[in-house]
């Protein structure tokens, strides 16, 4: 029996627990500040024991996932050291790694630390949003400390694979610079854009009334936890500031091109379009808009074929269907693209009737 401990039974902690409980041979205990999540997880059979005030319930764990805001991780690990077995693996799910990694190195060989960052999530943060397949086909970054044996890294990698995620080992600093660009700064930009619209809106709130489509897509992540994202920004300050400076340069280029009616503006948009289209592996579309749906579905053999057959039997033609590998703050595991909005809406209606959970991309 593999004994798993979880500190923080929110979206990620809850999803890890649900994913592992799909497999036999796991006993899961959780420590959480509030009762409702623990009570729900116990009622669902996702955890076997829970507590709001007693970390010692995790003492016999083989692996402990610390799923708290990044600024709290080290303090919880320090409290765990006197009560856990020397063979226990300590990991976290923080979206920044360098500072946490450095803090863990201070504990030396007192702990077996393997940093972790599952690249999946949502703007929702509570246990009720947790899903057993949230991590499926999402990259799961590992940053093992030099004192951890290769056997333990392999053992933890196997656990990560059981959640359906794809484990990859990355240098902590390299990780932080990359996620500052693809995750952290986009959150700052989304929040900044929302605040700008709020400040510029008229008394009759015309902007608020008209906000839809692209505005909602680009700013959806601004609904994420302020506590979590403030903590991330402070923790990854250096990388974020570097990326923000580069972003300011890019904005200045756009501003100058617009001001001077410079034809280079089209080149800026074209370069962005081409690079963005390359993310999905699709051929670049000649249309300025896309017609995509995201579908929640467990990653199991034949899932794509099953959906493709279902849509084909109802004369619904698809341009592209594929699994999302990097799904941080994105609902759904499958992306389906269509020729036009009419076909997309027909698919949305059909899949909803077939009890699939479907999101507009």
For residue 170, give the nearest of 90, 235, 240, 116 by alpha carbon.
116
Q: Are strands 89-92 and 63-66 parallel, antiparallel or unpaired?
A: parallel
Would you state the pLDDT for residue 320?
80
Query: 2-170 maps to which CATH number?
Result: 3.40.50.720
Question: Which helix or strand (DSSP H or E) is residue 335 part of?
Answer: strand 334-337
The residue length of the chain stands at 361
Question: Which helix or strand (DSSP H or E) is residue 89 part of?
Answer: strand 89-92
Q: Does domain 292-360 have CATH number 3.30.70?
A: yes
- The CATH number for 175-262, chosen from 1.10.10.10, 3.40.50.2000, 1.10.3660.10, 1.10.579.10, is 1.10.3660.10
pLDDT in 10s for each residue of the chain, 361 residues: 899 999 999 999 999 999 999 999 999 999 999 899 999 999 999 999 999 999 999 999 999 999 998 889 999 999 999 999 999 999 999 989 999 999 999 999 999 999 999 998 776 778 998 999 889 878 999 999 999 999 999 999 999 999 989 899 999 999 999 999 999 999 999 999 999 999 999 999 999 988 876 788 788 888 888 888 898 899 899 999 999 999 999 999 999 999 999 999 999 999 999 888 887 544 433 323 568 888 987 767 788 888 989 999 999 988 788 877 555 545 557 889 887 888 999 999 999 999 888 887 6
Domain locations in the chain as residue ranges = 2-170, 175-262, 292-360
Would you state the pLDDT for residue 286?
32
How far apart, in whole angstroms, are the C-alpha atoms of residue 273 and residue 288? 9
Beta bridge partner(s), residue 52: none
Tokens matching residue 348: 């949305």
């Amino acid at each position: 029996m593999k004994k798993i401990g979880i500190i923080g039974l929110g979206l990620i902690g809850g999803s890890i627990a649900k994913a592992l409980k799909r497999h036999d041979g796991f006993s899961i205990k959780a420590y959480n500040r509030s009762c409702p999540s623990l009570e729900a997880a116990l009622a669902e059979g996702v955890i076997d024991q829970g507590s709001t005030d007693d970390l010692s319930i995790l003492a016999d764990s083989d692996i402990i996932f610390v799923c708290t805001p990044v600024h709290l991780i080290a303090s919880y690990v320090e409290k765990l050291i006197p009560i856990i077995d020397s063979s226990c693996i300590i990991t976290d799910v923080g979206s920044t790694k360098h500072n946490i990694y450095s803090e863990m190195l201070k504990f030396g060989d007192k702990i077996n630390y393997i940093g972790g960052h599952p690249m999946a999530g949502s703007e929702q943060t509570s246990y009720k949003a947790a899903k057993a397949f949230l991590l499926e086909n999402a990259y799961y970054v590992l940053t093992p400390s030099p004192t951890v044996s290769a056997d333990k890294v392999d053992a933890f990698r196997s656990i990560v694979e059981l959640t359906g995620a794809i484990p990859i080992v990355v240098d902590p600093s390299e990780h932080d610079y990359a996620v500052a660009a693809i995750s952290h700064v986009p959150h700052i930009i989304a929040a900044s854009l929302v605040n700008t619209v709020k400040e510029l809106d008229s008394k009759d709130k015309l902007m608020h009334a008209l906000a839809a489509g692209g505005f909602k897509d680009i700013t959806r992540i601004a609904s994420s936890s302020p506590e979590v994202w403030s903590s991330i920004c402070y923790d990854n300050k250096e990388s974020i500031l570097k990326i923000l400076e580069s972003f300011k340069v890019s904005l200045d280029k756009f501003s100058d091109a617009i001001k001077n009616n410079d034809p280079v503006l089209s080149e800026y948009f074209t370069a962005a379009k081409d690079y963005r289209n390359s993310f999905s592996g699709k051929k670049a579309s000649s249309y300025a808009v896309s017609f995509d749906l995201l579908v929640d579905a467990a990653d199991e053999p034949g899932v794509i074929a099953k959906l493709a057959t279902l849509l084909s039997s109802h004369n619904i033609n698809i341009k592209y269907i594929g699994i999302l590998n990097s799904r941080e703050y994105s609902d759904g595991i499958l992306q389906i693209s269509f020729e036009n909005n009419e076909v997309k809406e027909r698919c949305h209606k059909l899949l909803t009737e077939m009890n699939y959970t479907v999101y507009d991309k």
